[in-house]
Structure 1
Amino acid sequence: MTTTPEPRRAPASPAPDQVREPAARPAVRVVSVVYHPGAELPDFTRSLAAATSAPVELVLVDNGTDPEVADRVAAEAGGRVVRTGENLGYGGGANAGARGATQPFLVVANPDVVWEPGSLDTLLDAAARHPDAGALGPALLNEDGTVYPSARELPSLTQGAGHAVLGKVWPGNPWTRAYQRRQETAGTERYAGWLSGACLLLRRDAFEAVGGFDEDYFMFFEDVDLGERLALAGRPNVYVPSARVTHVGGVSWKARPAAMISAHHRSAERYLHRRYHRWYQWPVRAAVSAGLRLREVVELRAAR
C-alpha cells in the first residue's frame, strides 16, 4: 500500500521581514481547461483580475469544437487560447496549457471558479512560507457559501470503500469523515494527501519533475494521483483556507451527467488498480472493479 511521507514542516507564518511585497510576487501562468464554456468563463477571468497583483499569463485550453466563447473571453482578458484539436480530458488539457511555461508558478483552475479578491495573492504568500510545497490549494466554497472538503487524505482501501458505499446515504460515517477531514476544512494551513484540481497553485519545477498530470485519467482522480506523486517526491500539498474561491460546480456534470458518472468510476478503478498492482493483490482489484461497476449502475439509474 502506498503511503505519503511526512514532509518537513515550514514555520506556520513568516517573520515580518519575510513577507513579500505585492511587487515582489512571482509571475504565474494561469491555465483553465474549457469545453464549450458559457457565462461562467467571463466570471472566472473578471474575478482573476482582482485576485492577484502578480504578473499573470492567462491560457485557455479549448478541448471543445466551438471556439467563439473561448476566443472572445481570451481577447477581452488579454490571454490566449491553446487549441488541442481533440478532447484531451482535464489532465491532458492542463498539461498542454502548462507546456513551455517559464513562470515559477502555475495555476490550474476550472473555468467555473470565481476568485475572491486577493485570493491568488494569499496562495502565493503561503507558497513563500512553505518553500517545500509542490501544490497549494484554497478553501473551495460551494455556491451556498459552505466549504467543500477539497483537501483530503489519500484513501486507504477501507476508507475508500466506506466512503463509496455510505458517503451519500450517511455523510457523517467515520470513513468519509477520516477521508475528507471535514472537521479541519475551515481550520489553519495544513498538509494534505491531495488537493482538489478545481483550483491549484503549483510550483512549476515540482509539477514538471513528476511529469505533470497523468493523462491516462481522462477526467477525475488526476488530482489525487498528482498529489500522491508530489508528496512521494518530497513536495507536499498544503491547504490554505485563508485563500477562498467559489466553485459554481457541476457545469460539465449538468450537461453530460451519465458520461461524467462513468468517467468518474473508470478513473477510480484505474487509480485503485495502480495502487494495488502486485500479483497477489488481484482479489482486491477484482473486488474494487465489481463494487465500482455496481455503484456506477446505481448512480446512472438515479441520474435518469
Structure 2
Amino acid sequence: MAESSDESGARPGPRVGVVTVAFRSNSVLKKLLASLAGASREPLSVVVVDNFPGDDESAAPIAHRFGATYVARPENPGYGAAINAGVRLLPKSIKWVVICNPDLEYKAGTIDALLAEASTDPTIGSVGPLVRNPDGSPYASARRIPSLRTGVGHALFANVWPANPWTRTYRHEHRPEFGTRDAGWLSGACLLVRRSAFEEVGGFDEGYFMYFEDVDLGYRLGKAGWRNVYVPGAEVVHIGGHATKAHSKIMIRAHHDSARRFVRRKYSGIWWLPVRGAINAGLSIRSRVHEFMASRRSRHA
C-alpha cells in the first residue's frame, strides 16, 4: 500500500506496529519475522521484547537482522507486561498494533485482512485471525467470556469429556466457513488491536504473569464499549508451547493463579465472596491434580 506525503512533503510514519515477546525463542523467531514481509503491504514497525536475554539465547541478532527494535527485559515481567513495554516504544504514528507470540507464521495478506475488517467500524477494538495448529486443525482462538456455569463446567470436564456442552459453549466453536463474528475475547497468541482502545483500557493487566491476560483484555475492552471480532479469513499457524514445555508444573500453577485473578475481577462484589471462595478452592484442587499428573508424565517420559 503506497504511502502519501503530508503537506510538508515528509512521508508519514508507519501506521501498523508489531510487538512480539521472545523467551528462548530463537528457533522460531526467524520464521515469524520472515513471514511478516508477506503478511502486509503496509510498512511495519516491529519490536521484539526479550524476556530471556542471555548471551546464548539472546534474540538481539535475529531482531536486528530483520530491522526490528530489540528490548531486553532480564527480569522477565511476563507476557502482558512485555507487550505493554513494546507498545510504548512504537512511534506515535502507529494506530494499529499486532500482538503475537514468537512461534507463529503468517499467511500471505493476514495483517491486511485484519486491518480491512478493523477499519469497517470505529467501535472495533481488536480483531483476531483463524489460528491453526501445526497439523492444520483450527485452534479455538475466539471465545466467550467465561461465566460461572461455563467456566466451572469447562474446568471440570474439558480434559475428560472434551465434547461437553460447557466447553463447547465457552469456546464458541463453529466452522471457519461460518464467517466473521464478534467474540468475548481473542487469543493473545495473535490479535490486532486499535492502539487508542488498547491504551484507553490500560493495555494488558500486568498482574497476570502468563495466561488469562487476553481473556481479561477482551473483557475490559467489551466493558468499555469496544468490539472484539474474529476474522477466519485471515490465518496464522501457531507452533505453540515451545517455551513452556520444560516448565509444565510452573505453567500449571501460573494458569490457575491467573484464573483466580480473573474471577476476582469479574466477581468483585462482597456478595460474591462465597462464590469466589468455592471457585478458588476448586482451582487449588484442580491445580494439584494437574501438577501431580505432570510429574507422573515427566517421570515416565
Q: Could you say whether these structures have the same fold, taking a TM-score greater than 0.5 normalized by the shorter chain as the test?
A: yes
Tell me by how many angstroms 1:73 deviates. Answer: 0.9
Query: Contact between 1:220 and 1:264, CA under 8 Å: does it hold in 2?
Result: yes
Question: Which residue is 2:62 aligned to?
Answer: 73
Query: Contact between 2:39 and 2:112, CA under 8 Å: does it hold in 1?
Result: yes
Could you tell me which runs of 5 or more consecutive residues in structure 2 were left unpaired when the two chains were aligned.
5-13, 296-301
Matched residues, percent identical? Answer: 47
Tell me by how many angstroms 1:179 deviates. Answer: 0.5
- Counterpart CA distance in 2 for 1:175 and 1:186 is 23
Question: Which residue is 2:299 aligned to?
Answer: none
Asked if 1:168 is matched to 2:168, the reply is no
2:233 paired residue among 222, 231, 242: 242
- Counterpart CA distance in 1 for 2:26 and 2:159 is 29
Query: Once superposed, what is the RMSD of the aligned Cα atoms?
Result: 1.5
Tell me by how many angstroms 1:57 deviates. Answer: 0.9
Question: Which residue is 2:23 aligned to?
Answer: 35
Question: Which residue is 2:184 aligned to?
Answer: 193
Tell me by how many angstroms 1:184 deviates. Answer: 4.8
Tell me by how many angstroms 1:235 deviates. Answer: 1.2
- In the comparison of the two structures, how many residue pairs are matched? 283
Q: Secondary structure at the match of 1:154?
A: coil
1:45 paired residue among 11, 17, 33: 33
Query: Contact between 2:52 and 2:58, CA under 8 Å: does it hold in 1?
Result: no
Asked if 1:222 is matched to 2:213, the reply is yes
Question: Which residue is 1:297 aligned to?
Answer: 288
Report the residue type matching 1:205 in the other structure: S
Could you tell me which runs of 5 or more consecutive residues in structure 1 were left unpaired when the two chains were aligned.
1-21
Tell me by how many angstroms 1:297 deviates. Answer: 1.0
For each residue in 1:160-210, what CA deviation from the matched residue of structure 2 results, as whole angstroms up to 9, or x when unmatched?
A: 000000011111111011110112555211110000000010110110111
- Counterpart CA distance in 1 for 2:238 and 2:206 is 23
TM-score normalised to the size of structure 1? 0.90
Query: Contact between 1:149 and 1:185, CA under 8 Å: does it hold in 2?
Result: no
Q: Secondary structure at the match of 1:234?
A: coil
Question: Which residue is 1:57 aligned to?
Answer: 45
- Counterpart CA distance in 2 for 1:160 and 1:56 is 38
- Counterpart CA distance in 2 for 1:85 and 1:149 is 32
Tell me by how many angstroms 1:256 deviates. Answer: 1.1
- Counterpart CA distance in 2 for 1:156 and 1:281 is 13
1:265 paired residue among 234, 252, 256: 256
The 5-angstrom pairing of residues 86-101 of structure 1 reads: 86-101=75-90
Tell me by how many angstroms 1:273 deviates. Answer: 1.7
Query: Contact between 1:151 and 1:185, CA under 8 Å: does it hold in 2?
Result: no
